[in-house]
Amino acid sequence: MKHLLTLFELSTADIERVFAISKDLKAKLARGIREPLLPGRVMAMIFEKQSLRTRVSFETGMAHLGGSSLFLGQDVGFGKRESAADFSQVLSQYVDVIVCRTNAHAKVEDLAKYATVPVINGLTDSAHPCQALTDLFTLEEVHGKLAGKRLAYVGDANNVAKSLAVCCGKLGVEFAIAAPAKYQFDDAFLAQLKHEVPQSKVTQTTRPADAVKGAVGIYTDVWVSMGQEAEEVERKKEFSPYQINAALMKQAPASAIFLHCLPARRGEEVTDDVIDSPQSAVIPQAGNRMHVQKGLLAWLLGAKV
């Protein structure tokens, strides 16, 4: 049973295969073709946090593929009414795939442990694999083959950053992160990355200008992720020198694109003039969530492609 809880689970060849299917499906959709690769398949969606992109792009993508989705609200009592084993085994008998967005990563691990259908992580506190896959796909659309290139990330070493670092490692991309020392990657994550993706190249610095040098993509995310609201005042203070603004973009190559997983807090981690500039790819990046997740669903569910 294949799951997608983190990108550690995908090989480089798996990622390239998902990208190839996604590219094909995206090109076909542009010609008005919606190939029903997953007719009659049903996707369950459990979301314990807010979402626009992940929820809608998964549901829409599944509809394009000829399948359907069930958005499961609080009434199913995920994590509350019964054991994870009972919940997961029962749900697996009804549906073909489960997408889950929650806080503690252990909750998706529990779902997957007992599921007899694939479980896809739609964001936890420590990983956002569908986002990172999309981001590298987007970067490759603009810059071609990525091996040997650099992605700069200025901001919190959060769920998005961790998944990006893993994806970059698998694709031979250097990941340069600039953050205050206390918000850089923790030792446990770095040790896991080194162990599972030994070829990965991560550089950590407190100087944004160093990270963006020579990069093909300049990425940021919010300073305060969902669930960290109590740390808002401190985080805003610590991260204020890490804003992506026109002055920082000038330190990067003119061909670099600006990326953000969205939603953005404009005026905090990024200024309007950057996110709205011709260098910004955030809108097509968000659009690609749907194309890449269609590729992922087709691949995970073994569609004939």
At 17 the three-state DSSP class reads helix
Rounded alpha-carbon distances, angstroms, from residue 164 to 35, 37, 121, 148, 184:
29, 28, 14, 15, 14
Residue 174 partner contact from ligand CP, ligand NVA, none using kind-dependent CB cut-offs of 5 to 8 Å: none
In the beta sheet, which residues pair with residue 249? none
Question: Measured in whole angstroms, how far is the alpha carbon of residue 108 from the centre of its chain?
Answer: 15
Amino acid at 283: I
Q: Is 261 a catalytic residue?
A: yes
Q: Residues 105-124 vs ligand CP: string with x where CB under 6 A?
A: ------------------x-
Question: Which partner, ligand CP, ligand NVA, none, binds residue 159 by CB below 5 to 8 Å per kind?
Answer: ligand NVA
Residues 154-183 that bind ligand NVA (CB under 6 A): 158-160
Of 126-145, binders to ligand CP (CB under 6 A) are 131
- 123 vs 193, which CB is nearer to ligand NVA? 123
What is the C-alpha to C-alpha distance for residues 240 and 77, in angstroms, rounded to an integer?
39
| 150 in active site | no
222 binding partner (options ligand CP, ligand NVA, none; Cβ < 5 to 8 Å by kind) = ligand NVA
Please state the closest distance from residue 39 (CB atom) to ligand CP, in A: 26
Question: Of these residues, 41, 261, 285, 291, which one is catalytic?
Answer: 261
Cα separation, 90 vs 259, in Å, equals 39
* C-beta of residue 62 within 8 angstroms of C-beta of residue 301: no
Task: Reply yes or no on whether 101 is catalytic.
Answer: yes
Catalytic residue status for 128? yes
Active-site residue, from 101, 150, 235, 291: 101
CA dihedral 271, 275, 276, 277 (to 10 degrees): 100
Q: What is the dihedral of CA 296, 297, 299, 302, to 10 degrees?
A: 170
From 103, 123, 99, select the one nearest 112 (Cα to Cα). 99
| Number of residues near ligand CP (by CB under 6 A) | 8
- Which residue, 250 or 265, has its beta carbon nearer to ligand NVA? 265
Burial of residue 142, with CB atoms counted within 10 A of its CB: 0-12 exposed, 13-18 middle, 19 or more buried: middle
What's the closest the beta carbon of residue 128 comes to ligand CP, in angstroms?
A: 6
CB 150 within 8 A of CB 215: yes
Please give the Cα distance from 183 to 153 (Å, whole number): 12
* Closer CB to ligand CP, 84 or 274, in the complex: 274
List binders of ligand NVA among 196-225 (CB under 6 A).
221-222, 225
The answer to whether the peptide bond before residue 118 is cis (omega within 30 degrees of 0) is no
Known catalytic membership, residue 272: no
| Interacting positions 257-276 with ligand CP (CB under 6 A) | 261-262
Which of 120, 152, 211, 261 is in the footprint of ligand NVA by CB under 6 A?
261
- Termini Cα distance of the chain: 19
Handedness of CA 262, 267, 270, 273 (dihedral sign): positive
Can residue 285 be called a binding residue for ligand CP (CB under 6 A)? no
Q: Select 54 or 243, whichever has its Cβ closest to ligand CP.
A: 54
Active site residues: 101, 128, 131, 221, 261, 289
Q: Which residues bind ligand NVA (CB under 6 A)?
A: 123, 158-160, 221-222, 225-226, 261
Q: Which residues bind ligand CP (CB under 6 A)?
A: 51-54, 123, 131, 261-262
